[in-house]
Amino acid sequence: MSGLEQGGLAFVGLLLMLSIGVPVGFALASVAAIGLYLSVGSTFVLTTFKTTPYTLASDYTFVVVPMFVLMGAIAGRAGIIGDLYFAAQAMLNRLRGSLFMATIVAQAGFAAASGSTVVASGVFTRMALPEMLKFRYDPGVSAGCIAAAGTLAGLIPPSIAMVLFALLTGEPVGELLVAGILPGLLTAVAYMVGIRLFLQFRPGWAPDTKEHITWPIRLRALGKIWSVLLLMLLVMGGIYSGLFPPSAAGAVGAAGALFIALSMRRIGSQQIWESLLETARITAMIFLIIVGGLIFSRFLLISGFIGDIRGFVTATQLGVGGFLAMTVVLFLLLGMFLDSVSLLVIAVPFLFPISQTLGIDSIWFAVLIVKLIEIAAISPPVGLNLYAVLASADGRVKTAQLFKGVLPFLAIEVIVLALLLAFPEITTYLPATMG
């Protein structure tokens, strides 16, 4: 049996296990264990299962993940994100669709203190959706805006997706994190411009609000966002300037978030404990998925699947354009069944070596992969961000409304993806300036 056939059977088995509710990490490890046992025997299987978790856990780079998660958990419980949202709402109040705009701006800010798209979607559904419905905004478009803006956390650092890409490929974490800044900001601007254009044709999506907010109120609201700005300066300023390594950035950010929350007297021992528990839960989930994905990738390598794929790309002379087109299709299809972390750990280990063979810039490729992952996260019918919004909406939005409401944002994402493909400099400029 060829490597392609073995890999194909493995993917079929994986999808079957996922369809019956087996957790992703266990499904990946189980399929890989069977494949490795049939290919090279039980001794290699046992050795792989013994060494892989240890190798990952002993990798100092991995410490960034729980620290960034902790930073976001503390910032959320301290009300820092609420301050950011209401400041954005106050400053943009006079614009039609101001709540859409405020959600996008605030989510971009939250991305700098979280790194998790699903968390961002859930938090802002509870915060922004009631406000939008209060002013008779279209429920589906409102929910779609929240889900789409949540994807900004995939690109704007500290991005957990970028950290995981670095762990899987050995690329420098700092450069990957910095590379996501301009594409993330471009996406946010594209959302805001797109909304303004859409509202010209569909004004009913966002009725003109008559609420008047005075400049003193605006300035007071604006003065409360210092905490988010300080966190951004601590984390990204430190990484970009070389003041401390990326592996320490998460710890600095978490310590900074805790210090800010305590200084504002917005967090107590109970909230700190809840933040630690949430961090442990999310980190354990990510760890299990990565371990399962690494074992699965090892099977794909040993079976010859990766070699056969690379040979296919070479023999068919797909070139860079053909390979990128294949990657786009693959991620959009797999994104219908898998969450962002699972998609990364399954696909990147065999796609990245091929990209290097074709001479594709690794930083640019990383940003494209993360962008595709985030597009998949808001693609009906199974985009993960969509269900995070539905779960947090408490029945205020129907599934069909959300699926329809997110379509304008998917169209904007396609345009942004095209710009990133056409102009790699958007991605590579900032990393090239790092000292």
CB 25 within 8 A of CB 291: yes
Over residues 372-376, mean pLDDT = 88
Q: Is 150 exposed, middle or buried (0-12, 13-18, 19+ CB in 10 A)?
A: buried
Structure tokens at 312: 């296919």
Mean pLDDT of 377-400: 82
pLDDT band at 113 (very low <50, low <70, confident <90, very high): low
Residue indicated by tokens 């700190």: 272
**Residue-averaged pLDDT of the chain:** 84
The whole-number pLDDT of residue 116 equals: 65
Average pLDDT over residues 390-399: 85
Residues 117, 114: Cα–Cα separation, whole Å? 8
Q: What single-letter DSSP state applies at residue 2? A: -
CB atoms within 10 A of CB 418: 10
Q: Which residues contact 122 (CB under 8 A, 6 or more apart)?
A: 388, 389, 391, 392
CA 367, CA 169: separation in Å to the nearest integer? 13
Average pLDDT of span 106-129: 76
pLDDT in tens, 16-32: 887 787 887 888 899 98
DSSP 259-293: HHHHHTT---HHHHHHHHHHHHHHHHHHHHHHHHH
- Residue 224: predicted pLDDT: 75
Identify whether the C-beta of residue 377 lies closer than 8 Å to the C-beta of residue 117. yes
Q: Which of 55-64, 350-359, 387-396 comes out lowest in average pLDDT?
A: 55-64
Instruction: Name which residue leads in pLDDT, 95 or 47.
Output: 47
Contact 152, 373 (CB under 8 A): no
Q: Which two tokens stand for residue 246?
A: 């990326």
**Single-letter amino acid code for the residue at 403:** F
142 pLDDT band (50/70/90 cuts)? very high
Q: Cα–Cα distances in Å, from 164 out to 56, 116, 168, 278, 421? A: 11, 12, 6, 19, 22
Choose among 35, 33, 24: nearest CA to 1.
35
Q: Give the global pTM.
A: 0.81
| Residue 337 DSSP class | T
Separation CA 370–CA 45 (nearest Å): 31
Does residue 426 or residue 433 have the better pLDDT?
A: 426
Q: For position 336, what pLDDT does the model report?
A: 64
- Taking 80 as the threshold, does the pLDDT of residue 117 lie above it? no
DSSP H or E segment with residue 386: helix 384-392
The pLDDT tens digits for 241-262 are 778 777 787 788 888 889 888 8
Q: Is 252:157 a contact under the CB 8 Å cutoff? A: no
Residue 396's SS3 state is coil
What's the CA gap between 161 and 348, in Å, rounded?
12
| CB neighbourhood size of 214 (10 A) | 9
3-class secondary structure for 140-201? Answer: HHHHHHHHHHHHHHHCCCCCHHHHHHHHHHCCCHHHHHHHCHHHHHHHHHHHHHHHHHHHHH
Closest alpha carbon to 345 in 8, 71, 14, 36: 14
Mean pLDDT throughout 167-179?
Answer: 87
The least confident of 205-219, 271-285, 290-304 is 205-219
- DSSP designation for 243: S
Q: How far apart are CA 370 and CA 386, in angstroms?
A: 17
Average pLDDT over residues 393-407: 89
Return the pLDDT at 210. Answer: 61
- Within 10 angstroms of residue 108's Cβ, the number of other Cβ atoms is 24
pLDDT band at 118 (very low <50, low <70, confident <90, very high): low
Phi, psi (deg, nearest 5) at residue 222: -65, -35
- What DSSP string describes 186-242? HHHHHHHHHHHHHHHH-GGGSPPP-----HHHHHHHHHTTHHHHHHHIIIIIHHHHT
Share of the chain above pLDDT 70, in %: 96
Q: What are phi and psi of 278, to 5 degrees?
A: -60, -45
